[in-house]
Chain A
Amino acid sequence: MGQQILNAIFIGSIYALFAVGYTLVFGVLDILNLAHSAVFMLAAAVTYTLVVNHGQSFWLACALAIVAAALMGVVIEYVCLRPLRRRRAPPIAALISTIGLALIIVAAVEQGRPGTLFSWLWVDGANSVSLPAGTYPNPIWNLGGLTLEGTKLAVIPISIALMLLLGYVMRFTQVGRGLRAVAENPRAARLMGIDVDRMIMLTLIISSALGGLAGILFGVALGDISPYIGRDSVEVRGLAVIVLGGMGSVPGAVLGGYLLGAIEVLAVVLLGSNVRAGVAFAALFLMLVLRPQGLFGAQLRERL
């Protein structure tokens, strides 16, 4: 039982970290960035390629991968979102646009094989791989029947630290105030002299960097890096988390992540493993029907 609680805390941290990026974009832009899960995967893939195929040190590879993820944020803004805003397109077009970018990123990694166009990025095709043992420190302690893995434990303080950092930035820095102003009312923000486009760009950079970091931690702690890790494992659950926690709320995303982790593990323990995912989504549905603003979201205002 204790092991299951540890499992819940760990997976909750991953969901939370992923969702924080998601909710940031949604809170500021009211858009679901569906390329987020692709960036998540890309950072893990880049880390692996740098370490295994280009012989870099793990820490350098991580840093470069996060930079790559942040750059993808720039790409998302320039390629997917800005042209549509300029053309005054209906917002759902942005959804499709990010879907298209996600498709490209996943396909590019999936087709990375030796001797092909994308072999600089990835050479393992559709396979699932993991970083070789010894690449990064991963001490394992067995205490009182419980197994504690260093990498999984490390995820928890990292997630919490990031949430605190983000909270600090949002509340106390110029940049954070600018972001909140844009989220609240962009026309007014513009009138106050805030460069809205730049704020949006910044949101995407931060969000994508966070998503990328979540991907690296996922790949490292779970020993699973493949072109599909974003889509299969976390994409839909990320949506569930931000709904449970409240859209646009960063602490909500974090708590929502742990809540979902707890629900899933409880379902495994009490009801049997096969209904874990079904229960999670049923909970999502119920939450939306009963309390759509989630745990921490503001009361939904009428959108006029």
Chain B
Amino acid sequence: MRLVRLVSVLAAGVILGACGSAGGGGTTSGSSYAGKTIKLGAILSITGAGGVYGPQSRDGMKLAVDQINKSGGVNGAQIALSVTDDASDKAQSAQVAQTLIQQEQDLALLGPTLSNSAVAVHPLAETLKVPILAVSTTGIHIVPDCNFPQTTPCRYVFRDSLGEQTAIPDNIQSYASDGHPSTGVLLVAQDDKFSSDGGKIVQDTVGQYNINLLKTIKFNKGEADLSPYVTQAVALKPDVIFITSLGGIPAKIMVAARNQGWHGQFLGGNGFNTATVSKQAGDAGKGARSASAWYLGNSFPSNADFVKAYQAAYGKDPDQFGAQGYTAIKVLADAAKRANLTFTDLAGDRDKLRAAMETVNLPQTPLGPFQFTSNHDVKQTVWVIAMDGVGGFTLVHEIKAS
């Protein structure tokens, strides 16, 4: 019995040693983390309205963690990812963040899913000096000014989700050069931060492309019937209708507008970018454009690998949120590898990780080549996509990162 145990221990040691040297990959020569655990905590909305995105982020993250752990971990250390639900409630989100930071003592955090929760959680992480990587928040004032209206940049907050501040202007620019519109109407859900942020960005951008915004029509996101608002919009006969909402609202507006005989162009924000919305809009949404951080058929080889692995693991296509979750783990793993972590000084390690994140430069992610800007925002290719009327998207433009 003791001989068997001795042999197994020796064998394990040999295997671990072999894995450690094989899995390390290219760039680093830093200290080996063999036997250690990198603890990451993700705060995602699995229940509640944010449950439209949270589970996909979780799936993408878990896929990345499995892949990395199976191929030797990060310098030999295994990643332990815990995903906690915040029920789309910002108070619960902040409470969860605190326990992950102070009780679980996670090295870094990911999330939260919703911009509303991020407003509560990111300043907390900044105060407690814990790196946090947002994977789906695209609103304004996430990075670098998480403490808006204070202007001091937040050093510990990063995001890998393409912001509306980049996406919406890129989308408008793309259509302006294609369709030369001159008038537009904006429909915005005034009680939804995401939609309001997007609306503001539209208002600030249209002037640059000589689009006259005839009217901004506000409604509440919980309203059953949006026809009165669509009627008002259609009556003005604009060339473009801007829709910055998410959930079921874009499809409802598009169907209603087409039914009322309007044939112009729909331009939207991140709310357009899921297959569910494209399917719900159906034929009415054909040709509706938005700018996306990711596209199922994008040309990066690492994306093809990612899509295949995701399909094998979960039996369905990934979406933008899965891709961003996956990339986030890759980013954190890369930073951890280069950060010379001690695993004894948590505060010091967190700061080292933060510094290493700033210099991340990954040539191969599903999002394409990935780097952070000096504002901890994402620097990547932007895909302008259009709904194809049958639940998918076609590619219109590829705007490379400048």
Contacts and interface: CB of A to CB of B under 8 A. Distances in A.
Does chain A touch chain B in the assembled complex, meaning CB atoms less than 8 Å apart? yes
Interface of A: 3-4, 7, 10-11, 14, 107, 110-111, 113-115, 124-130, 132-133, 140, 142, 147, 149, 218, 222-224, 226, 228-229, 232-234, 237, 264-265, 268-269, 272-274, 276-277
Q: Is the interface on chain B under 10, 10 to 19, 20 to 34, or 35 or more residues?
A: 35 or more
B282 A274 contact: no
Contact of A3 (B219, B251, B260): B260
A129 B224 contact: no
A4 B231 CA distance: 7
A11 B282 CA distance: 23
B228 A269 contact: yes
Given A127-B276, A223-B251, A233-B223, A149 B259 contact: yes
14 contacts: A3-B231, A4-B231, A11-B224, A125-B51, A125-B52, A127-B274, A128-B280, A130-B255, A140-B259, A223-B255, A224-B248, A264-B228, A272-B218, A276-B223
Contact of B315 (A4, A114, A229, A272): A114
Interface in B182-233: 190, 217-225, 227-229, 231-232
A7 B231 contact: yes
Given A126-B48, A149-B259, A273 B219 contact: yes
A264 B220 CA distance: 12
Given A7-B225, A140-B259, A142-B261, A273 B51 contact: no
Interface of B: 47-52, 55, 190, 217-225, 227-229, 231-232, 247-248, 251-252, 255, 259-261, 274, 276, 279-280, 282-283, 315-316
Contact of B261 (A124, A147, A229, A269): A147
Contacts of A277: 220, 223
A218 B223 CA distance: 12
A274 B222 CA distance: 12
A142 B234 CA distance: 14
B228 A10 contact: no
A122 to B, nearest CB: 12
B51 A110 contact: yes
Given A132-B282, A273-B217, A277-B223, A126 B49 contact: yes
Contacts of A110: 47-48, 51
Contacts of A3: 227, 231, 260
A265 B255 contact: no
B259 A14 contact: no
Contacts of A124: 276
A276 B219 contact: yes
Contacts of B228: 4, 7, 264-265, 268-269, 273, 276
A14 B224 contact: yes
Most buried by A among B228, B232, B251, B282: B228
A129 B276 CA distance: 7
A132 B284 CA distance: 12
Nearest to A149: B259
A232 B86 CA distance: 20
A115 B217 CA distance: 40
Contacts of B274: 127
A222 B252 contact: yes
Contacts of A223: 251-252, 255, 280
A228 B225 CA distance: 14
A107 B47 contact: yes
Contact of A127 (B52, B220, B232): B52
A165 B345 CA distance: 75
A110 B279 CA distance: 19
Nearest to B316: A114
| Smallest CB-CB A-B distances: 7 pairs | A128-B248, A233-B224, A232-B222, A126-B51, A274-B218, A268-B228, A147-B260
A128 B251 contact: yes
Contacts of A132: 282
B280 A129 contact: yes
